[in-house]
Chain A
Amino acid sequence: MNTRQMMVALWTIVRSEIRRFMRIWPQTLLPPSITMTMYFIIFGNLIGARIGKMDGVDYMDYIVPGLIMMSVITNSYSNVASSFFGSKFQRSVEEMIISPMPNWLVLSGFVIGGSARGLAVGIIVTAVSLFFTDLQIHHPFLTILVVIMTAILFSIGGFINALLGKKFDDISIVPIFVLTPLTYLGGVFYSIHTLPEFWQNVSLINPILYMVNTFRYGILGVSDINVGAAVGAIAVFIVIFFSAAMWLLRRGKGLRS
């Protein structure tokens, strides 16, 4: 395939992915906005008013970046996991396998599609948060960079999950038993400085902590961790995940017998 043909093929996948989550917006875009509104009302307004400040900022302001990031992570991941597993289940993935598209192009198409949903939900949740607080972004470039990198990383994660999954249960196990606990324990609702030293150290092995804190630093200018190292770590994770997905695709894992 020449470059132009590859761009057409890539756009075909991206277009299909975006159309898919837009077509079923009551299942993809609406639920996170309602859930996050509940978080803002209950944790931010009602409970947050009693908590006071966290790391020197109002509690409502403190949880907004974490909740935006939580939405981006879960939606990027689940979009690719459900879409690619769905195409495996319906066997429509065979349309792509028999085509001249290289593996990296198929992976990139789904990752861009998943990231698009993650970012769309992130924008919606950000818009909802403006009803509850007045966001001042301290480092716009870092904020955008880290949210895009996170969306890419978890889209690739969703792709790997879909490749390895054999039944629909397999694509809900990781979000329920891995992503949700790691996100809740990743400093969305609290600063790790509030924890005993032992649990602070345990928290440092949670990769989501670095994404949430870097994003929070971009918006609020406060962080529990070294932001530069965190951005580097996310980039390394992207390379590792992308390489793993490519290796699985080359072996035809879950796709070719």
Chain B
Amino acid sequence: MHAALSIRGLTKVYDNNFHALKGIDLEVPQGDFFALLGPNGAGKSTTLGVVSSLVRKTAGEVSIYGIDVDRDFARARYHLGVVPQEFNFNQFEKVEDIILTQAGYYGIPRRQAEDRAHQLLEDLGLWDKRHDAARMLSGGMKRRLMIARALIHRPRLLILDEPTAGVDIELRRSMWEYMKRINEQEGTTIILTTHYLEEAESLCRNIAIINHGEIVHNTSMRELLGQLSRETFVLDLASPVTHSPVIEGFDVERLDDAQLALSVDKGQRINDAFARLSEQNIEVVSMRNRANRLEELFVRMVEGSNDTKGQQGGIR
């Protein structure tokens, strides 16, 4: 079975001699929900730009569902839907027309596309706005419009380049649910770039981290999170403490009167720490991760690859 997306030796050198991609290899299986993460300028958008043909590659091969984009660009593009980072629709056109025009570009007659367009408008909460000019929409609605537009021709591979940037948390979560649904129910392969690492952690099964134009890590989300050898929790206390309690084997830091930071290494039992705290009459009311787990790993990997100029960074 062909991969949904296969990239081999992809290189991009811009006219100013900036090496944006240095021969990357990447494979995204069919039906996957895949995260492509990296700091700003790492090469994420260039990679996705080459796949969607907005950026010309210098060298390498790209195929979508086994179809080489150079040899049979039209057939490859039928499988691809793209939601870019920037708004890229005619702001003066009506919402419904933008979606139906896109269907036309794929050779789908307007009448035939209307049912699908209406369904997408309803699913994405844009039905009441369908006759409004796109410029009248809020930022979140514009993002949903781009998702509806990208899905009108039923692509098998959907690229979402920071789809929830600038979207409020409630709307972001409803968009997550929608993306999960089309991935699970319709089998659409989704590639996501995002700066919200919580988003990648909760949605994606596989992940690649790119930095300085090279893939520095490519694995499953489960395996990646399994590499996290230390987690730090913030403990909310029932009564104030005046100093950091000492617990053998654990690092404890007093954040303020009512909060402690507790670091737990892989293999340590958090219950032991609670028992020691309890012995010192310190009662814990609630606890949470100090930082998103994926965020911790991401920062370490990117810093590691910066230190070793592109080689895979060490993980604590």
Name A's B-contacting residues (CB within 8 A).
Answer: 1-2, 4-6, 8-9, 11-13, 15-16, 87, 90-92, 94-102, 252, 256-257
State in angstroms the CA–CA spacing of A100 and B102 once bound together: 11
Residue of A nearest to B109 (CB): A8
Residue of B nearest to A102 (CB): B74
Q: Beta-carbon contacts of B77-97 to A below 8 Å, as 1s and 0s?
A: 110101010111111000000
Report chain B residues within 8 Å CB of A87.
Answer: 90
Instruction: Determine if B106 and A5 form an interchain contact, defined as CB atoms under 8 angstroms apart.
Output: yes
B1 within 8 A of A: no
List 26 A-B pairs, Cβ < 8 Å: A1-B74, A4-B107, A5-B106, A6-B107, A8-B104, A9-B107, A13-B104, A87-B90, A90-B90, A91-B86, A94-B88, A95-B88, A95-B89, A95-B101, A95-B102, A95-B105, A96-B105, A97-B54, A98-B77, A99-B102, A99-B106, A100-B106, A100-B107, A101-B105, A257-B49, A257-B56
Taking Cβ atoms with an 8 Å cutoff, the residues of B that contact A are 14, 49, 52-56, 73-75, 77-78, 80, 82, 84, 86-91, 101-102, 104-110, 149
Which of chain B's residues have a CB closer than 8 A to the CB of A92? 88-90
A8–B102 CA distance with the chains assembled, in angstroms: 11
Assuming A6-B107, A98-B80, what are 17 further A-B pairs, CB within 8 angstroms?
A1-B107, A4-B107, A8-B109, A11-B104, A12-B101, A13-B104, A15-B104, A92-B89, A94-B88, A95-B102, A97-B54, A98-B77, A100-B74, A256-B54, A256-B56, A257-B49, A257-B56
Partner of A90, one of B74, B78, B88, B105: B88
Q: Are B90 and A257 in contact, CB atoms less than 8 angstroms apart?
A: no
CB contacts (< 8 Å) of B82 on chain A: these are 98
Chain B residues with CB under 8 Å of A99's CB are: 77, 102, 105-106
A100 contacts B73, CB within 8 Å? yes
Bound Cα distance A94, B88 (Å): 7
Contact of A257 among B14, B77, B86, B87 (CB under 8 A): B14
CB contact under 8 A between A100 and B104, given known A94-B88, A257-B49: no
B89 x A257 contact (CB < 8 A): no
Residue of A nearest to B46 (CB): A257
- Asked if A100 and B78 make an inter-chain contact with CB atoms under 8 angstroms apart, the answer reads yes
Shortest CB distance A250–B (Å): 11
Q: Contacts A90-B91, A95-B88; is A9 near B54 (CB within 8 Å)?
A: no
Q: Please indicate the chain A residues that have their CB under 8 angstroms from the CB of B52 in the complex.
A: 98
Closest Cβ of chain B to A22, distance in Å, is 14
| Contact for B53 among A1, A12, A97, CB less than 8 A | A97
**What residues on B are CB-neighbors of A95 within 8 Å?**
88-89, 101-102, 105, 149
- The CA-CA distance from A198 to B105 in the complex, in Å, is 52
Residue of B nearest to A99 (CB): B105
A100 with B55: in contact, given A9-B106, A90-B91 (CB under 8 Å)? no
Knowing A90-B91, A92-B89, say if A12 contacts B105 (CB, 8 Å).
yes
- B89 & A252 in contact (Cβ 8 Å cutoff): no
Q: How far is the CA of A92 from the CA of B89 in the complex (A)?
A: 4
Residues of A within 8 A of B102 (CB): 95, 99
The interface residues of chain B lying within 8 Å CB-to-CB of A8 are 104, 107-109
| Minimum distance in angstroms from A124 CB to a CB of chain B | 24
Tell me, in angstroms, the Cα distance from A161 to B198 when the chains sit together: 46
How many whole Å from B153's CB to the nearest CB in chain A?
9
> Please, how many angstroms separate the alpha-carbon atoms of A92 and B82 in the complex?
13
Q: Contact between B107 and A94 (Cβ–Cβ < 8 Å)?
A: no
In Å, the complex CA distance between A96 and B103 comes to 11
Separation in Å of the A166 CB from the closest CB of chain B? 14
CA–CA, A101 to B102, complex, Å?
11
- Closest residue of chain A to B52 (Cβ to Cβ) is A98
With a cutoff of 8 Å between Cβ atoms, the chain B residues found around residue A12 in the complex are 101, 104-105, 110
**Do B56 and A252 have beta carbons less than 8 Å apart?**
yes
Known: A99-B77, A100-B74, A100-B77. A5 touches B107 (CB 8 A): yes
- Chain A nearest CB from B83 CB (Å) reads 11
Measured CA separation A247–B277 after assembly (Å): 74
Give Cα distance in the complex from A8 to B103, angstroms. Answer: 9
A182 to B233 alpha-carbon distance, docked (Å): 76
**What distance in Å separates the Cβ of A58 from its nearest Cβ neighbour in chain B?**
45
Q: Which B residues touch A11, using CB under 8 A? A: 104
Q: Note all chain B residues with C-beta closer than 8 A to A91.
A: 84, 86-88
Please indicate the chain B residues that have their CB under 8 angstroms from the CB of A9 in the complex.
Answer: 104-107
Whole-angstrom CA separation of A250 from B38 in the bound complex: 31
